[in-house]
């Protein structure tokens, strides 16, 4: 029996209500029944339903008002109206106000099931599309956090450039949040309902990058058994974010320049010219002007991309934002606002953060994991440079590192993949450390 969605049946005719509820539950639905509008609203306040069946005439109100109140509580709820022959005009009005369909009494239960399934399918499609839209726009948690002068200056540029169509070049060190800035530009643009497609030029092998970006036809190269659209096509009507643009090879830079100037491109191995309506936002942690002078980056592409620059400040230049970022991270993790001791916060405030916000969040995650149920201490976040610089009486750094790795392994149940993620190193590097310490894979 397939698992069908949850449905609420609202009808003051007890015999009919119980008949519908019993049949739907027998067919795999999760059906609940109530006899009044008040009871229906109470249920909608405590449980999520996919579909509801409302009788137009209820003891404490009518179906039209209930429809309005129900959709306020659960906007994705699909509603099927039950009506007598004398109130069909009212049922049609209900559909105009957003009801999915209406059926007349006496209701045909087989027909009701078909209507409910179609309503549930539509609701599932709407929810899915909304999820994609939110994913493309960035979720509410993907927020630029900070009140420092450096962040305010950056956001001023972002807010001014976002509604335009000009290319944007985002500059900043690794870990500063360049993709988050790009998502913010997309979210505040006229393309906000279109897709946001991110591609890291450094993460894709050079020989595959053109195919990844522009797509390929069948047989274009060994292994190309089917035609495939590229990320440019996927970004149609939206924003294409090219991260680490400085890593792109010169031949592909020429093709990207042509696309930026004309909107035209070709799939690899194809003679057909295609067109895409895409806004390009690029980012790099390199000095592109130096790359141009060294002959590693095209001068004309640099000037085409660099219409507007957004400089993302490193964390060391906005230390006053560290407490806000800590508070934001703890809230996302469901941790208490005072999860860090004053000593731990002071340690963070004194640190230079070469890895910027990404490193801060990594250290906080590590600290929460290692501290268990007690407040996070400096020893849990282990900012190695501070230990080394501030207290010569501490253990040698190599021994501190060894003990720290041991603690993380124990905290993760010796799950090496999870431990490597928390430590911020590769799994291969972790295995090297285990071998160096003489800890066998089964050692714990």
220 and 158 within one domain: yes
| pLDDT of 2 strictly over 60 | no
Residue 321 lies in a domain: yes
Q: What is the DSSP letter of 319?
A: G
Picking from 163, 184, 182, 164, the residue whose alpha carbon sits closest to that of residue 172 is 182
Instruction: Say how far apart CA 85 and CA 369 lie, in whole Å.
Output: 64
Residue 370 confidence (pLDDT): 83
The pair of structure tokens assigned to 397 is 């750094």
| pLDDT of 140 strictly over 70 | no
The pair of structure tokens assigned to 243 is 């991260």
What average pLDDT does this structure show over 276-286? 94
Q: Which residue has the higher pLDDT, 95 or 235?
A: 235
218 pLDDT tier (thresholds 50, 70, 90): confident
Q: What is the DSSP letter of 107?
A: P
Residue 294 confidence (pLDDT): 94
| pLDDT of 203 strictly over 80 | no
333-362 pLDDT per residue, tens:
888 888 999 888 888 888 888 889 988 998
368-424 pLDDT per residue, tens:
888 878 899 888 886 554 444 444 444 665 776 787 788 888 878 888 888 887 777
With a pLDDT cut of 90, the percent of the chain lying above it is: 35
Instruction: Say how far apart CA 429 and CA 416 lie, in whole Å.
Output: 11
Give the domain-ending residue among 80, 106, 137. Answer: 137
- As a 3-state breakdown, the chain gives helix, strand, coil percent values, each rounded to 5, of 50, 15, 35
Residue 351 lies in a domain: yes
Residue 429 confidence (pLDDT): 80
What average pLDDT does this structure show over 423-441? 79
Instruction: Say how far apart CA 327 and CA 338 lie, in whole Å.
Output: 9
Q: Which residue has the higher pLDDT, 65 or 283?
A: 283
| pLDDT of 81 strictly over 80 | yes
160 and 100 within one domain: no
Instruction: Say how far apart CA 121 and CA 313 lie, in whole Å.
Output: 47
306 and 173 within one domain: yes
Q: How many domains does the chain have?
A: 3
108 and 92 within one domain: yes
Q: Are 347 and 386 in contact, with CB atoms under 8 Å apart?
A: yes
Residue 78: CATH number of its domain: 3.40.50.2300
199 and 286 within one domain: yes
Q: Beta strand pairing status for 51-55 and 57-58?
A: unpaired
192 and 132 within one domain: no
Please state the pTM of the whole predicted model: 0.60
Give the domain-ending residue among 251, 285, 313. Answer: 313
**Helix spans in 165-249 (H):** 178-187, 206-214, 231-234
Give the structural domain span for 20: 6-137
Give the domain-ending residue among 268, 283, 313. Answer: 313
């Amino acid at each position: 029996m397939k698992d069908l969605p949850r449905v609420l049946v609202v009808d003051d005719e007890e015999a009919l209500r119980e008949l519908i509820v019993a049949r739907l539950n027998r067919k795999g639905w999760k059906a609940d029944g109530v006899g009044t509008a008040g009871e229906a609203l109470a249920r909608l306040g405590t449980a999520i339903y996919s579909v509801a069946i409302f009788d137009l005439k209820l003891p404490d109100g009518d179906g039209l008002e209930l429809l309005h109140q129900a959709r306020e509580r659960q906007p994705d709820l699909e509603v099927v109206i039950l009506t007598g022959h004398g109130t069909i005009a009212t049922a049609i009005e209900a559909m105009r106000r957003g009801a999915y369909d209406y059926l007349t009494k006496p209701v045909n239960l087989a027909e009701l099931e078909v209507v409910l399934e179609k309503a549930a399918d539509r609701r599932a499609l709407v929810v899915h599309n909304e999820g994609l839209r939110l994913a493309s726009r960035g979720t509410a948690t993907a927020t630029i956090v900070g009140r420092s002068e450096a962040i305010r200056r950056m956001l001023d540029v972002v807010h001014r450039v976002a509604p335009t169509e000009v290319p944007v070049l985002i500059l900043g060190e690794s870990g500063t949040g360049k993709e988050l800035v790009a998502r913010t530009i997309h979210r505040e643009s006229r393309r906000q309902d279109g897709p946001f497609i991110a591609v890291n030029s450094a993460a894709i092998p050079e020989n595959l990058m053109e195919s990844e970006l522009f797509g390929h036809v069948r047989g274009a190269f060994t292994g190309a058994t089917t035609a495939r659209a590229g990320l440019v096509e996927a970004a149609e009507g939206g924003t294409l974010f090219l991260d680490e643009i400085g890593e792109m090879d010169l031949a592909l830079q020429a093709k990207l320049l042509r696309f930026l100037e004309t909107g035209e491109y070709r799939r690899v191995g194809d003679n057909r010219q295609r067109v895409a309506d895409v806004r390009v936002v690029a980012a790099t942690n390199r000095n592109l002007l130096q790359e141009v002078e060294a002959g590693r980056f095209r001068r004309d592409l640099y000037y085409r991309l660099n219409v507007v620059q957004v400089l993302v400040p490193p964390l060391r230049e906005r230390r006053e934002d560290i407490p806000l970022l800590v508070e934001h991270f703890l809230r996302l993790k469901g941790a208490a606002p005072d999860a860090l001791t004053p000593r731990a916060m002071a340690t963070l405030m004194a640190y230079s953060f070469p890895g910027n916000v990404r490193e801060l969040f990594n250290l906080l995650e590590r600290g929460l994991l290692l501290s268990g149920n007690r407040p996070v201490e400096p020893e849990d976040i282990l900012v190695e440079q501070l230990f080394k610089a501030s207290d010569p009486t501490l253990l040698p750094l190599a021994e501190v590192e060894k003990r720290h790795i041991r603690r993380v392994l124990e905290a993760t149940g010796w799950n090496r993949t999870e431990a490597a993620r928390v430590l911020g190193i590769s799994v291969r590097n972790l295995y090297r450390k285990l071998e160096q310490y003489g800890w066998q894979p089964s050692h714990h």
